[in-house]
Amino acid sequence: MLKIGCHLSASGGFLRMGKEIVSIGGNTFQFFTRNPRGGSAKAVDEKDATDFRAFAEKNGIPVILAHAPYTLNGCSADPSIRDFATRTMADDLMRMEYVPGNLYNFHPGSHVGQGIEAGIEMIAEMLNTILKPEQQTTVLLETMAGKGSEVGSRFEELREILDRVKLQEKMGVCMDTCHVNDAGYDIVNDLDGVLTEFDKVIGLGRLKAIHINDSKNPIGAHKDRHEKIGEGTLGTETILRVMRHDALKELPFYLETPNELDGYEREIKMLKEMY
């Protein structure tokens, strides 16, 4: 069964998001765990989490994806920023245990001139501090566009992080179609080749979610500017090929396109019809 949804505003809680995604034709959704600029999160509303779990069961929402604030940087040169990232992620994962069995995605980080290797070491160290054997959430590294000093625009970099994590069974990868294009992977003309490469370097078994975004920029631009489906350099057919691919079709797909709710509703409807 196709799992498709979009990024939603988290305000109002889990149950409200569940109702919202169903109302626009989706069956999964992504949300920021807190203000994307990184502020504090509200106290966990246990009743909301319980009500949502019942709603998700009844309405066929198989999985949801939490997204860490994109400012979280576990490989900053500033130890206080690294410490903040560690505490924020640990707190987010504690909260996710109220809706167990779901996914938590984060941008690996920016090494800000310290070098990719130093960045990789710090990100892995952070994960080794945070991950717990009893946790029921899978933590995903997102494939990045390679803007500035971002770590994770090459599959090899994600592999190196994973290799250093002790509780590897808690880890996965989320592939973003805009980001991989901007990083230089040719999913327009050679999706099979890119996935073969991913499989060789990381292993397709690690892939747990897909962000389906068109891109404003050409391949290899290292920009990270998302575009509406069909209005960018990837095109609707590329997105559909991703969704239909044998290696990917069971994964949940999330739109992070520049849209309000009505635009997401149109894109979900269009993709479901064309699929």
Give me the residues that bind Fe ion (CB under 5 A), please: 142, 176, 211
For Zn ion, which stretch binds (CB under 5 A), given 30-38, 109-117, 187-195, 224-232?
A: 224-232
Query: Which of Zn ion, Fe ion, none binds 82 (CB below 5-8 Å, type-dependent)?
Result: none
Q: Which is nearer to Fe ion, 20 or 142 (CB)?
A: 142
CB 213 within 8 A of CB 256: yes
For Zn ion, which stretch binds (CB under 5 A), given 95-103, 117-125, 130-138, 220-228?
A: 220-228
Q: Tell me the sheet residues that pair with 211.
A: 176, 254
Q: Which is nearer to Zn ion, 157 or 224 (CB)?
A: 224
Query: Which of Zn ion, Fe ion, none binds 211 (CB below 5-8 Å, type-dependent)?
Result: Fe ion
Q: Which is nearer to Fe ion, 176 or 214 (CB)?
A: 176
20 binds Zn ion (CB under 5 A): no
- One-letter amino acid for residue 210 of the chain: I
Residue nearest to Zn ion (CB): 224
Q: Which is nearer to Fe ion, 52 or 106 (CB)?
A: 106
CA–CA separation, 36 vs 63, rounded Å? 21
Contacts of 63 (CB under 8 A, 6+ apart): 3, 28, 101, 102, 103, 252
CB 265 within 8 A of CB 24: yes
Work out how close the CB of 144 gets to Zn ion at its nearest, in angstroms, rounded to a whole number. 8
Q: Which is nearer to Fe ion, 48 or 119 (CB)?
A: 119
Work out how close the CB of 222 gets to Zn ion at its nearest, in angstroms, rounded to a whole number. 12
Work out how close the CB of 172 gets to Zn ion at its nearest, in angstroms, rounded to a whole number. 18
At 194, list the tokens: 């890119």
Work out how close the CB of 231 gets to Fe ion at its nearest, in angstroms, rounded to a whole number. 17
> Of 163, 176, 162, 75, whose CA–CA distance to 116 is shortest?
75
CA–CA separation, 133 vs 16, rounded Å? 31
Select the residue interacting with Zn ion from 224, 239, 251, 264 (CB under 5 A). 224
- For 49, the enclosing helix (H) or strand (E) is helix 46-59
Query: Which of Zn ion, Fe ion, none binds 224 (CB below 5-8 Å, type-dependent)?
Result: Zn ion
CA distance readout (Å), 110 to 66, 119, 150: 20, 7, 4
Residue listed under structure tokens 């090494």: 111
Q: Which residues bind Zn ion (CB under 5 A)?
A: 224
